Structure 1
Amino acid sequence: MFGRDLISLMRAGYVLAREGAFAPVDARALPAGPRTAITLARLIERREGGRRLAGALERLGPSYVKLGQFLATRRDLVGQRVATDLSSLQDRLPPFDTREARKAVEDELGQPIEEMFAEFGGPVAAASIAQVHKARLKDGRAVAVKILRPGVERRFARDLRTFATAARLGEAFSGEARRLRLKAVGEELARSAKIEMDLRLEAAAIAEMGENTKDDAGFRVPAVIWEATGRRVLTTEWIDGHPMSDLEGLRASHHDLPKLAVNAIQSFLRHAMRDGFFHADMHPGNLFVEPDGTLVAVDFGIMGRLGSRERTFLAEILWGFIRQDYRRTAEVHFEAGYVPHTQSVDDFAQALRAIGTPIRDQSASDISMARLLAQLLEVTELFSMRTRPELLLLQKTMVVVEGVARNLDPRFDMWASAEPVVGEWIARNLGPAGRIAGAADGLGTVARVAQHVPNLLQRAERLAQDFADAAEEGRLRERQTNRCRDTALWIGAVSLAVIALAQVF
């Protein structure tokens, strides 16, 4: 087994070298062994270059594409430049034969396909793990049938073993690999792949988000057809609408593109902050617009979660940025355990001020979320903070959704659009009643609650006073003069707080 893994690694190394994936590496900074390996790899590099690492992973196959997509969410490990390259990976493959698909459905559901479906068409979309067919149930409803590729579990299991071998070898010989915890990264990838290859779990995610959003205007998820769903087959209602990537189709159907942009960003923030459960792959191909303008999300293989504790600290950090109270914002990081206590609160507050202050006088259109994220990532490295995967999914998805919105409306003001969602959450959850109720849930006993009530009341009173002061200041300001600055602060703070929260042990 180990020998086969080594052969697979050698093949992968050859393809990576051939495609020029090692070209950006500065070999002069490496120890003698890796420096020699990089030098030899460059001897076989194709001179025409290409997309470097992303192109090499696409050549290596679907498991490596998934690895690259996963690493694109771990900027803390691979760096901003590599993550940007990997974000271009396309998870598309030629479809497998419809006869194989029909057999897979029959084997999984235990019935002849004619007994389940009145019609069963060819594939309409194909990716590395599964493909989708349009079909019609006996009662006439159009449905989408997602089917795992034949043999995909074996292929991924083999490649995941190879990745694990590479991680073990890396950590055995490299202190940097141990610092980056390559074995833990491999285990995380394996868990993610296991979830994606059990379509019952995706069905459960759809059902949970459907319950969370049942009363939301302008957003919904497809209904799951449970009697036609199993581990390798997922059947949902068919969505008739334009994908968000089809701008010309949306315009031809007379959709309000700026309104759709606002709906996309507000829906995402509502799921993340209100529900703590969000779709973590909201690219344009996974978002459809129905004739009445309702936004429908599909493909729930990758989901993110935020606990109540993370959401509460996110809001406190956000409010600290809005009020320019960088000392308090820094203290929240330390209270939450996000920054090691070996670091200085004052130094961290100074670093936050260096990022937060420049956005104070900028208009919303001048603030780049991607640049803000990159700046804070650089700062967090200085304070020995580590990253939690679900919060990295949050920041990655926020950037993607911003891109979707700006594609719909180049003049889109993300900051102003998100303000109502963020403000509502803070008002509802950070008042005295919400703070004490949340503490009671988390502490579990009356005695422990009583021990913390004085501090909770003090913090709640301070927040309530801040809101009162802010409201009074708002009434005294001239709204038109200061609108751009205030709305920029709201979600400039959101983007900063998201990344700040992502730096967790």
Structure 2
Amino acid sequence: MRLFRLLKIISVGLRFGLDQMIRDHAANTRIGEWVHRLVPARQFAEPRAVRLRLALESLGPLFVKFGQMLSTRRDLLALDIADELAKLQDQVPPFPSAQVFEVLRGEYGKPVHEVFRQFEAEPVASASVAQVHFAVLPDGTEVAVKVLRPGIESVIEHDVALLDTAALLIEKLWADGKRLKPREVVQEFARHLEDELDMMREAANCSQLRRNFHDSALLLVPEVYWDFCTRKALVMQRMVGTPVSQIDTLRGQGVDMKALSRAGVEIFFTQVFRDGYFHADMHPGNILVTNTGQYVALDFGIMGTLTDRDKAYLAQNFLAFFQRDYKRVAQAHIDAGWVPAHVRVDEFETSIRAVCEPIFDRPLKDISFGKTLLRLFQTARRFEMEVQPQLVMLQKTLLNIEGLGRQLDPDLDLWQTAKPFLEKWMSDQIGWRALVRHIKDEAPNWAGTLPQLPRLLHRLLNIDTQEREAARHAELLELQRRRNRWITVLTLGVLGLVAIELMTRFS
């Protein structure tokens, strides 16, 4: 099976002229020489990026998903390829209802009609890993049931193995192979797939995000019904809304598009900086809007996380960008260890200014974040900055936010919308509010420690006394050793004088 799959990949690659891309970019390498000898040069009407996207679509849903993930790695790709791969849509024909019933029977140990009061055989959505059906629980609750595609695990295992082999060849045979780190990219992709293949993990992601936005006026997250969730089936609250991409319908419902666009920015920054836990797949297909203008999040297979340190440095960088304090941006990168300490701050500052200064005071419709990101990555490589793995998903989400903002309100000023939120967040982190919060957080620990303070202090004093006695004893031993050395020297000196005197008398 693996050999057949490999032959198909080679065939599709030749059909869409991917060999020409190798010929152009690896001419002086062994792999380029092989291509030059085995495959004649050809001309193609479509640009290289379009041909690559079409090839991935022909190879199937897993390669489409790989292309989607690869489009986020703008540190590795040319801008035209990254932009084209971002257009990949994971639209997959549904698998038969009979297989759905078979999977659910295997998970629940009984037929579907004994688990649900009603189950719609026709899916409402289908993707490469799973598809969704509407159903009704025995108590009358309307739910959405996400069912894992049968046999997808073995397909993914084979395709990931082929991708890893291809990455190894690129790394060994291409001059830029090691710099591009293709095997690390494949491993990153495999980790994301592993998360998406476990519906219990996705259910936990959904539950966490719902808890973070409990009673929020901005974002609705479906409730998870844990009694019906398994590794291959996720059952959650059925959500009602209009896809965010249907702008005319939303306007017809009286939704304020400018307020909706600002709310989207606030939701993003709340997830990133308040929670350090964010929905990392926020394309329009995963977002609904209620008729009251409230967002609804769907599909929780890919979530991003940030540490407190990541959040602090990101906030400092964002605020410094807003204030055009590029020296502070450069210094923050060096302090975080993202840029080597030997890099000159003034040179790094100048390069950042050249990238960022042109985008200020312009509406969102006039700003290309793709080009800005590309120039930032080029600057990063010049100053030996490695892209942080924990920020890759954040970069992808920022691009999703850009696309969403362009749809809802092309005149949205992203900077001015985000700045007040970030300033308040920084105040909460380093101001008096932070002090009060830290005291509250530590109060339970103090309550347990205070009764022990007398005993701990007594032990500390005893330890201190013992240390002083030990030090005094060591000092006395040292004095005694010195005295013994002087006595030995004097004795030897006296004996030497006596010996000289005796030799003089008897000579």
Aligned to 1:334: 334
Aligned to 1:67: 66
Give the alignment partner of residue 30 of structure 2, picking from 7, 30, 33.
33
More displaced, 25-34 or 81-90? 25-34
Where do residues 49-60 of structure 1 align in structure 2 (5 Å cutoff)? 49=46, 51-60=50-59
CA distance in 1, matches of 2:42, 2:199: 40
Aligned to 1:98: 97
Q: Which has the larger radius of gyration?
A: 2
What is the CA distance between 1:189 and its match in structure 2? 1.4
Inter-CA distance 240–385: structure 2 relative to 1 (3 Å threshold): same
Structure 1 unaligned segments of length 5 or more: list them: 447-505
Structure 2 unaligned segments of length 5 or more: list them: 447-507
Structure with higher RCO (Cα < 8 A, 6+ apart): 1
Aligned to 1:415: 415
Judge conservation of contact 1:120–1:133 (CA < 8 Å) in 2.
Answer: yes
Amino acid at match of 1:19: F
CA distance in 1, matches of 2:268, 2:316: 19
Aligned to 1:13: 10
CA distance in 2, matches of 1:364, 1:237: 35
Where do residues 124-163 of structure 1 align in structure 2 (5 Å cutoff)? 124-163=124-163
Per-residue Cα deviation, 1:398-418 (whole angstroms, up to 9, x for no partner): 121121122122332322322
Amino acid at match of 2:127: A
CA distance in 2, matches of 1:12, 1:409: 41
Where do residues 233-382 of structure 1 align in structure 2 (5 Å cutoff)? 233-360=233-360, 362=362, 366-382=366-382
Inter-CA distance 147–363: structure 2 relative to 1 (3 Å threshold): closer
Amino acid at match of 1:220: L
Inter-CA distance 436–214: structure 2 relative to 1 (3 Å threshold): closer
Judge conservation of contact 2:30–2:173 (CA < 8 Å) in 1.
Answer: no
What is the CA distance between 1:39 and its match in structure 2? 4.1
More displaced, 428-437 or 369-378? 428-437
- Percent identity between the two aligned chains: 37
More displaced, 91-100 or 424-433? 424-433
Judge conservation of contact 1:260–1:293 (CA < 8 Å) in 2.
Answer: yes
Inter-CA distance 360–233: structure 2 relative to 1 (3 Å threshold): closer
Q: TM-score, normalised by structure 2?
A: 0.80
Aligned to 1:178: 178
What is the CA distance between 1:268 and its match in structure 2? 1.1
CA distance in 1, matches of 2:202, 2:310: 24
CA distance in 2, matches of 1:62, 1:365: 32
CA distance in 2, matches of 1:19, 1:191: 29
Judge conservation of contact 1:260–1:405 (CA < 8 Å) in 2.
Answer: no
What is the CA distance between 1:335 and its match in structure 2? 1.0
Per-residue Cα deviation, 1:55-106 (whole angstroms, up to 9, x for no partner): 1011111221121111111111223221111111111111111111011112
What is the CA distance between 1:36 and its match in structure 2? 3.5
Per-residue Cα deviation, 1:146-199 (whole angstroms, up to 9, x for no partner): 111110001001111111222223333334222222222222111111111001
Inter-CA distance 40–131: structure 2 relative to 1 (3 Å threshold): farther
Judge conservation of contact 2:26–2:174 (CA < 8 Å) in 1.
Answer: no
Aligned to 2:383: 383
Inter-CA distance 263–162: structure 2 relative to 1 (3 Å threshold): same
Q: Secondary structure at the match of 2:278?
A: strand
What is the CA distance between 1:380 and its match in structure 2? 1.0
Per-residue Cα deviation, 1:354-384 (whole angstroms, up to 9, x for no partner): 2333345556664443332222122112111
Inter-CA distance 292–206: structure 2 relative to 1 (3 Å threshold): same
What is the CA distance between 1:25 and its match in structure 2? 5.5
Inter-CA distance 324–247: structure 2 relative to 1 (3 Å threshold): closer
Aligned to 1:77: 76
Q: Secondary structure at the match of 1:75?
A: coil
CA distance in 2, matches of 1:186, 1:61: 17
Inter-CA distance 186–436: structure 2 relative to 1 (3 Å threshold): farther
CA distance in 2, matches of 1:223, 1:202: 12
CA distance in 2, matches of 1:211, 1:28: 49
Answer yes or no: is 1:221 the counterpart of 2:195.
Answer: no
Judge conservation of contact 1:334–1:341 (CA < 8 Å) in 2.
Answer: yes
Inter-CA distance 243–271: structure 2 relative to 1 (3 Å threshold): same
What is the CA distance between 1:139 and its match in structure 2? 1.5
What is the CA distance between 1:251 and its match in structure 2? 2.3
